[in-house]
């Protein structure tokens, strides 16, 4: 190797890195910072109009509401970075909330049992999705749209028009949803813990990086010997399990559960993830961004209530936000491509 | 089989391997043995089966019959991971990087240096990548994303990846196609070091002089069959071409002499920022003009811009005296342009659709008019027109309603040509018209292009296949790094003059 080592670098120009590398880094950080900025502006403006918005109760409500959505967004991120999607999470949350509620009603079962059962049911649903997508090669959109309806139907069949009443649910479980640790409610603590764990896994572990590799270029991942099927299966398993956990927390928070309570949430989750900067075509994005996206969407819901705007507007606002986020992405991508194109020419 | 082989078993070998894709027999009984400390060349024309050999070594394809042997023992690679575990590193023709990940991550995917906690040690990873780049003599930033790297830099990343694996076997599928002379010299230095370290290397290149410079033995393939394996010592370039082509060159390039007519396509100072700059040329009726250059020189991009697929930033395009609006393929087609793209699977054809539908796709309006009054297209009219073109191009098919996906590469290319010729264009742009098709069909495509020119069509042909460029073109335009650097008339066009211009050496002009 010495012969090579002695060769002088032939193109020292390539190392303009810092300036442009810094720019690229900034562009990639742009999303998280952008959401944070939007969040701050939103809160500031709303508080200026109605100071009670930032009351302890108001803030706690937002965090409680955002927790479950953020949990789902974290799971969804795992799936979306591999260039797939999981639309069944809303149905899974509903099924788990109902079935776990049914199982613990009138018993003295504890938190551990409820969480274990919920996660197990969710993981089972995720396993079905994952097997169909990774082994059978059916497009994820179709598979999870199918399981969305199947699980929904199952939930209605099991519920049979009944509902779970909070009075029947053991206190220990309800306490999980409404209690706190040193003043901080359990729910956001759980979500943050999960977010940090998954975020660290995706960033710092070799198998975590493979999720991004698969989404960035499936063909290159195949040629690099990345175990694509196993990773995609894992992503669905995790998304299902987290949806199961979210279902249990739903039960713990509300106590009273009707059949299919989280109907339509899958779209909120996907919106949160995309707004949070996870590219819908995979390869890019973090769970932190996704969780921030969930917080932003939830906050908008509360803001509309505080500002006494017809709640029907909420969906329109979320939709607008989504379009804005995607347009911003597109603009940034074009800008970036231009910068890189020019740089290429300079370096020949 | 040969006398120069060392007595130890080959590091990696294909023994009597056959492989078919659908109806296309890609390899028939091919044997190649790669020995430690030797650089082995694989020669053959486009479509001879070289890439299939590469992918069989890489574990991407499994042989239908025959076997892969590692150190003399039969092995089965169930996927690229197995081959990598066995010490096989592959540098593909088209770099296969993860655009969203950093350069360092691309190199170390799956083998990242770890801390004691099992987490990726980013600092160590970046340092290791920087070290590799230093050894290769390039100054790339390990932190930058792979998106936006030039092809040459992407190639460097691939090489760094292979070196970091301590590969026992290194397979390089046309690694020099996009490199400048200096970069090639650097690559060769690295390759020789690996060779001395006992690595077995398979090297593929279209540039014969590179084969002679770097390799010790050569295996030649023709139409998927093994022609021979022999030492390069005592062999001439002509011998090698003879083995690859297996027939006289003239027959493969049946170019008719035509007196050029009026200018049909006029491109003036066309620029797309960062892609190509200030490109001007004309193509007359009856002429075949080749656009040569290395991969990534911007040839396809110019063609795409002319046809209106991509936007251009400055300049203008005229077809038969009519100025084309930018970025409108519809207007380009109406003006008489036809564009046969480089990638027929992705861009040229709808693979699941039938032959007749694919051919009819470019002329839905005229098919409707031909179908009589009313807004509907008659299937009979569509089928008649498709059959007419299928016969004219000697397409081999069983039924016109078959999906084009089942046809061989050469026949698929004929369908793309039929689809565009049916629009009766005055200017035909073909991008790599014979890439990956068999020699027989290749000659047919060449004859067709020659006939079209003789019948007063203007043909602009982009090709990376130098013999094809030299054999077919009346004039050769050469691009280098987004600029048109040379225009060489047929009489003066040689491999040397074209390559010199394409790699940025100015020898071409002096020769002219």
Is the pLDDT at B174 greater than 90? The verdict is no
Confidence of residue A230 (pLDDT cuts 50, 70, 90): very high
CB contact under 8 A, A204 and B109: no
Comparing A332 with A218, the larger pLDDT belongs to A218
The number of beta carbons lying within 10 Å of the beta carbon of residue B322 is: 11
How far A201 CA sits from the closest chain B CA (Å)? 8
In what side-by-side order are the strands of the sheet with B169-173?
B73-75, B65-70, B12-21, B24-34, B225-231, B217-222, B39-43, B200-204, B169-173, B88-91
Residue A199's pLDDT is 95
Residues B370 and B419 grouped into a single domain = yes
Closest CA to B34 of B58, B5, B67: B5
Q: B42 - beta bridge partners?
A: B219
Q: Which domain holds residue B395?
A: 251-511
Question: Residue A1 and residue B193: Cβ atoms within 8 Å?
Answer: yes
A17/B138 touch (CB, cutoff 8 Å), yes or no: no
pLDDT attached to residue A341: 62
The confidence band for B436, taking pLDDT boundaries of 50, 70 and 90, is low
Min CA distance, B184 vs chain A (Å)?
Answer: 12
B51 and B164 in a single domain? The answer is yes
Residue whose entry in the numeric block shows the structure tokens 């027989």: B440
- Pair (B179, B289) in one structural domain: no
Query: Which residues of chain A lie closer than 8 angstroms to B274, CB-CB?
Result: 338, 341-342, 344-345
Contacts of A2 (CB under 8 A, 6+ apart): none
> C-alpha dihedral over B351, B356, B361, B362, to 10 degrees?
120
Best mutation target among A223, A227, A339 (most B Cβ atoms within 10 Å) is A223
d(CA B288, CA A207) in angstroms, rounded, equals: 52
Flag whether pLDDT at B429 surpasses 90: yes
The ranges assigned to domains in chain A are: 30-314
Least confident of B30-34, B178-182, B419-423: B178-182
CB atoms within 10 A of CB B329: 14
pLDDT at A214: 95
Point out the domain boundary residue: B207, B231, B246: B246
Beta bridge partners of residue B202, listed in sequence order: B40, B171
Domain CATH for B189: 3.40.50.300
Q: Same domain, yes or no, for B181 and B58?
A: yes
Number of domains observed in the structure of chain B: 2
Direct distance between the N- and C-terminal alpha carbons of chain A, in angstroms, rounded to an integer: 27
Phi first, then psi: give them for residue B428, nearest 5 degrees.
-115, 125
Number of Cβ atoms within 10 Å of the Cβ of A143 = 25
B144 located within any domain: no
Query: Which residue of B119, B135, B143 is in closest CB contact with A204?
Result: B119
Residue B473 — pLDDT band, cuts 50, 70, 90?
very high
**The pLDDT value given to residue B118:** 87
In this complex, the residue of A3, A224, A283 whose CB is nearest that of residue B100 is A283
* Least confident among A198-212, A299-313, B47-61, B281-295: A299-313
Q: Catalogue the E-assigned strands of B47-135.
A: 65-70, 73-75, 88-91
Lowest mean pLDDT, pick from A258-262, B22-26, B152-156, B370-374? B22-26
Residue A7 has pLDDT above 60, yes or no: no
Residues B391, B297 share a domain: yes
Q: Is B48 helix (H, G, I), strand (E, B) or coil?
A: coil
Tell me what percent of the residues of chain A surpass a pLDDT of 70.
88
pLDDT above 80 for A196: yes
Distance, in Å, from the CA atom of B228 to the CA atom of B237, rounded to the nearest integer, reads: 15
Q: How far apart are CA A138 and CA B429, in angstroms?
A: 38
List, for residues A96-105, the tens digit of each pLDDT value: 999 999 999 8
Q: Which residues are within 8 A (CB) of B446 and not within 5 positions of it... i.e. 6 or more apart?
A: B252, B253, B254, B255, B434, B468, B471, B472
* DSSP classification of residue A280: T
Q: How far A13 CA sits from the closest chain B CA (Å)?
A: 8
> Residue A346: pLDDT above 70?
no
SS3 B225: strand
Task: Enumerate long-range contacts of A154-160, CB under 8 Å, 24 or more apart.
Answer: A154/A95, A155/A91, A155/A94, A155/A95, A155/A98, A155/A259, A155/A260, A156/A259, A156/A260, A158/A95, A158/A98, A158/A99, A158/A102, A158/A259, A159/A98, A159/A258, A159/A259, A159/A260
A280 by Cβ neighbours in 10 Å (0-12 / 13-18 / 19+) ranks as middle
pLDDT number for residue B346: 78
Which of A222, A224, A228 to probe by mutation at the B interface, max B CB count within 10 Å? A224
Report how far residue B186's alpha carbon sits from residue A122's, in angstroms, rounded to the nearest whole number: 55
In Å, what is the CA distance from B339 to each residue of A48, A294, B330, B344, B351? 60, 47, 12, 11, 18
From B293, B295, B301, select the one nearest B274 (Cα to Cα).
B301
* Mean confidence (pLDDT) of chain B: 86
CA distance B136 to B123: 20
**Residue pLDDT, tens place only, B499-508:** 888 877 654 3
Give me the residue from B60, B119, B136 closest to A205, CB to CB. Answer: B119
At residue B4, the pLDDT reads: 53
Other C-beta atoms lying within 10 Å of the C-beta of residue A323: 10
* Interface test with chain B among A2, A4, A15, by most B beta carbons within 10 Å: A4
SS3 A338: helix
**Residue range B480-507: mean pLDDT, rounded:** 83
Chain A, 294 to 333: residues with Cβ < 8 Å from chain B are none
> Percent helix, strand and coil across chain B, each rounded to 5?
35, 25, 40
**Segment A31-57 mean pLDDT:** 85
- Residue B126, in any domain of the structure: no
Report CB contact under 8 Å: A337, B148.
yes
pLDDT at position B420, please?
92
Looking at the fold, whether B213 and B316 belong to one and the same domain comes out as: no
Q: Based on the fold, state whether residues B273 and B181 are members of the same structural domain.
A: no
CA neighbor of A202 nearest in space, from A265, A143, A269, A278: A278
**Is the domain of B322 the same as that of B285?**
yes
pLDDT in tens, A20-42: 445 555 555 666 787 888 889 88
Assess whether B483 and B362 both reside in one domain.
yes
Contact B100 A3 (CB under 8 A): no
* pLDDT of the residue at A304: 85
B114 has pLDDT over 70: yes
Is the per-residue pLDDT at A19 higher than 60?
Answer: no
Structure ipTM over 0.90, yes or no? no
Mind telling me how many Å the CA of A1 is from chain B's nearest CA? 6
Looking at residue A30, its pLDDT comes to 65
Q: In B235-311, where does DSSP find H-type helix?
A: 237-245, 249-252, 299-307
> Any idea which of B3-7, B161-165, B347-351 has the lowest mean pLDDT?
B3-7
**pLDDT at B509 > cutoff 80:** no
Mutate to test the interface with A, among B60, B61, B110, B126 (most CBs of A within 10 A): B110
Chain B positions in Cβ-Cβ contact with residue A217 (cut-off 8 Å): 96-99
Give A-chain residues touching B92 at CB under 8 angstroms.
Answer: 223
**Cα maximum dimension of chain B:** 78
In this prediction, residue A94 carries a pLDDT of 96
Give the burial string for B135-157 (b: 16+ CB within 10 Å, else e).
bbbbbbbbbbbbbbbbbbbbbbb
What mean pLDDT do residues A210-214 have?
A: 95
The span from the CA of B320 to the CA of B332, in Å, is 11
Q: Which residue has the higher pLDDT, A8 or B327?
A: B327
Q: Cβ of A10 and B137 within 8 Å?
A: yes
Residue A15: what pLDDT?
38
Q: Kindly state the average pLDDT of the residues A213-226.
A: 91
Distance of CA B255 to the CA centre of its chain: 22
Lowest mean pLDDT, pick from A29-43, B92-106, B277-291: A29-43
CA of B311: how far to CAs of B24, B271, B337, B428, in Å? Answer: 38, 10, 16, 20
Residue B139 falls inside a structural domain: no
Lowest-pLDDT range of B94-98, B128-132, B281-285, B426-430:
B94-98
Q: What is the pLDDT of residue B1?
A: 47
**Which residues, 6+ apart, have CB-to-CB distance to A161 below 8 Å?**
A259
Pairing of strands B12-21, B24-34: antiparallel
Last residue of a domain, one of B246, B268, B287: B246
Cβ contact, residue pair A10, B481, below 8 Å? no
A 10 A CB-CB count for B182 gives: 14
Q: Is A335 on the interface with B (CB under 8 A)?
A: no
Distance from CA of A133 to the nearest CA of B (A): 19
pLDDT at residue A257 is higher than 80: yes
The answer to whether A346 faces chain B, any CB pair under 8 Å, is no
- Residue finishing a domain among B246, B277, B295: B246
Backbone angles phi, psi at B222, to 5 degrees: -140, 125
Checking B243-246 for CB contacts under 8 A at 24+ apart, the result is: B243/B43, B244/B43, B244/B44, B244/B45, B244/B48, B244/B220, B245/B45, B245/B439, B246/B222, B246/B439
Is the Cβ pair B101, A213 closer than 8 Å?
A: yes
| Segment (H or E) for B227 | strand B225-231
Query: Residue A36 has what pLDDT?
Result: 85
- State which residue of chain A sits closest to B118, comparing Cα positions: A205
Is pLDDT above 70 for B282? Answer: yes
Which has the minimum average pLDDT: A232-246, B52-66, B86-100, B112-126? Answer: B86-100
Q: Which of A139-148, B35-44, B498-507 comes out lowest in average pLDDT?
A: B498-507
Average pLDDT over residues B176-185: 75
Mean pLDDT of A56-80: 92
Structural domain contains residue B271: yes
Q: For residue range A145-190, what is the model confidence (pLDDT) as tens digits?
A: 999 999 999 999 999 888 998 899 999 999 998 888 888 899 999 9
Q: What is the pLDDT of residues B232-243, one digit of tens each?
A: 988 887 788 778
What percent of chain B is modeled with pLDDT above 90?
42
Scan residues 203-232 of A and list those with Cβ closer than 8 Å to B: 203-206, 209-210, 212-213, 215-217, 219-227
Mean pLDDT, range A320-348, rounded to an integer: 70
Quick one: DSSP state of residue B214?
Answer: H
Answer with the residue of higher pLDDT: A233 or A308: A233
Q: Sorting pLDDT into bands at 50, 70 and 90, what band is A6?
A: very low
Residue A24: per-residue pLDDT: 55
- Count A/B contacts: CB-CB distance under 8 Å: 142
Chain B neighbors of A223, CB-CB under 8 A: 58, 60, 80, 90, 92, 96
Task: Enumerate residues 6+ apart whose C-beta is below 8 A from B229.
Answer: B1, B2, B31, B32, B33, B217, B218, B219, B220
Yes or no: say if B99 and A217 are a contact pair by the CB < 8 Å rule.
yes
**CATH architecture of the domain formed by A30-314:** Orthogonal Bundle (1.10)
Single out the residue of A81, A86, A77 nearest to residue A133, CA to CA: A86
Q: In this model, does residue A286 exceed pLDDT 60?
A: yes
CB-based contact A17 B101, cutoff 8 Å = no
- Alpha-carbon gap, residue A251 to A100, rounded angstroms: 8
Same domain, B48 and B193: yes
Contact list, A216 vs chain B (CB under 8 Å): 98-101
Question: How many residues would you count in chain A?
Answer: 348
CA–CA separation, B416 and B359 (whole Å): 7
Tell me if B458 is assigned to some domain.
Answer: yes
B367 and B233 within one domain: no
Whether residue B256 is found in the same domain as residue B371: yes
**B80–A17: do the CB atoms touch at under 8 Å?**
no
When pLDDT is averaged across residues A80-87 and rounded to a whole number, the result is 96
């Amino acid at each position: 190797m010495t012969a090579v080592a002695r060769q002088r670098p032939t193109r020292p120009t390539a190392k303009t890195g810092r300036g442009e590398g810094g720019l690229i880094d900034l562009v990639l950080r742009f999303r998280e910072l952008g959401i944070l900025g939007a969040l701050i502006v939103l809160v500031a403006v709303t508080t200026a109009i109605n100071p009670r918005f930032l009351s302890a109760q108001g803030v706690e409500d937002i965090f409680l509401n955002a927790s479950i959505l953020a949990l789902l967004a974290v799971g969804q991120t795992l799936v979306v970075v591999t260039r797939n999607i999981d639309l069944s999470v809303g149905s899974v949350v509903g099924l788990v909330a109902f079935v776990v509620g049914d199982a613990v009603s009138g018993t003295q079962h504890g938190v551990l049992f409820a969480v274990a059962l919920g996660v197990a049911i969710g993981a089972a649903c995720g396993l079905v999705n994952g097997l169909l997508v990774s082994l059978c090669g059916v497009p994820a959109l179709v598979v999870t749209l199918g399981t969305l309806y199947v699980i929904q139907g199952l939930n209605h069949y099991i519920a049979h028009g009944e509902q779970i009443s909070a009075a029947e649910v053991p206190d220990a479980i309800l306490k999980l949803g409404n209690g706190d640790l040193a003043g901080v409610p359990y729910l956001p603590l759980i979500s943050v813990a999960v977010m940090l764990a998954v975020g660290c896994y995706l960033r710092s572990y070799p198998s975590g990086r493979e999720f991004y590799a698969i989404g960035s270029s499936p063909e290159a991942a195949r040629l690099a010997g990345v175990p694509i099927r196993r990773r995609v299966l894992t992503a669905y398993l995790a998304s299902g399990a987290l949806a199961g956990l979210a279902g249990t927390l739903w039960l713990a928070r509300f106590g009273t559960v009707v059949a299919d309570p989280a109907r339509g949430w899958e779209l909120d989750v996907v919106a949160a993830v995309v707004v949070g900067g996870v590219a819908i075509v995979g390869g890019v994005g973090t769970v932190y961004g996704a969780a921030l996206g969930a917080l932003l969407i939830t906050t908008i819901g509360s803001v509309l209530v505080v500002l006494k705007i017809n709640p029907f507007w909420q969906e329109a606002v979320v939709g607008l936000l989504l379009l804005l986020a995607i347009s911003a992405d597109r603009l940034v991508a074009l800008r970036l491509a231009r910068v890189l194109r020019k740089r290429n020419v300079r370096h020949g | 089989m040969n006398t120069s082989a060392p007595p130890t078993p080959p590091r990696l070998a294909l023994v009597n391997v056959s492989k078919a894709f659908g109806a296309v027999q890609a390899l028939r009984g091919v044997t190649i043995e790669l020995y430690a400390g030797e650089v082995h060349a694989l020669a053959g024309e486009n479509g001879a089966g070289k890439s299939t050999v590469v992918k069989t070594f890489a574990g991407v394809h499994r042989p239908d019959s025959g076997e892969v042997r590692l150190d003399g023992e039969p092995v089965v690679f169930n996927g690229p991971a197995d081959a990598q575990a066995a010490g096989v590193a592959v540098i593909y023709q088209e770099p296969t990087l993860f655009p969203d990940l950093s350069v360092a991550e691309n190199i170390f995917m799956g083998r990242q240096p770890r801390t004691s906690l099992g987490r990726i040690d980013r600092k160590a990873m970046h340092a290791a990548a920087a070290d590799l780049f230093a050894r290769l003599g390039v100054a790339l930033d390990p932190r930058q994303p792979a998106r936006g790297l030039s092809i040459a830099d992407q190639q460097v990343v691939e090489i760094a990846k292979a070196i970091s694996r301590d590969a026992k076997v290194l397979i390089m599928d046309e690694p020099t196609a996009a490199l400048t002379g200096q970069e090639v010299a650097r690559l060769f230095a690295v390759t020789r070091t690996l060779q001395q370290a006992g690595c077995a290397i398979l090297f593929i290149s279209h540039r014969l002089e590179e084969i002679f410079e770097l390799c010790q033995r050569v295996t030649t393939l023709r139409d998927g069959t093994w022609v021979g394996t022999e030492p390069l010592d005592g062999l001439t370039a002509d011998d090698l071409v003879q083995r690859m082509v297996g027939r006289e060159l003239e027959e493969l390039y049946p170019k008719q002499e035509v007196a050029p007519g009026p200018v049909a396509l006029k491109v003036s100072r066309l620029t797309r920022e960062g892609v190509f700059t200030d490109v001007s040329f004309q193509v007359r009726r009856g002429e075949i003009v080749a656009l040569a250059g290395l991969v990534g020189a911007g040839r396809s991009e110019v063609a795409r811009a002319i046809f209106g697929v991509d936007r251009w930033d400055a300049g203008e395009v005229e077809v038969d005296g009519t100025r084309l609006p930018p970025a409108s393929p519809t207007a380009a087609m109406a003006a008489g342009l036809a564009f046969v793209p480089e990638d027929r699977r992705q861009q040229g054809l709808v693979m699941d659709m039938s032959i007749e539908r694919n051919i009819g796709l470019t002329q839905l309006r005229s098919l409707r008019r031909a179908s009589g009054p009313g807004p509907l297209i008659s299937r009979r009219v569509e089928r008649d027109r498709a059959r007419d073109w299928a016969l004219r191009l000697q397409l081999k098919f069983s039924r016109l309603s078959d999906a084009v996906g089942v046809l061989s590469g050469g026949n698929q290319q004929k369908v793309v040509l039929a689809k565009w010729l049916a629009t009766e264009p005055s200017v035909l742009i073909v991008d790599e018209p014979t890439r990956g098709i068999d020699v027989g069909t290749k000659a047919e495509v060449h004859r067709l292009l020659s006939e079209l020119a003789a019948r007063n069509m203007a043909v602009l042909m982009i090709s990376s296949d130098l013999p094809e460029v030299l054999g077919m073109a009346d004039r050769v335009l050469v691009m280098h790094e987004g600029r048109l650097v040379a225009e060489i008339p047929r009489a003066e066009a040689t491999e040397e003059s074209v390559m010199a211009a394409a790699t940025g050496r100015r020898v071409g002009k002096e020769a002219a």
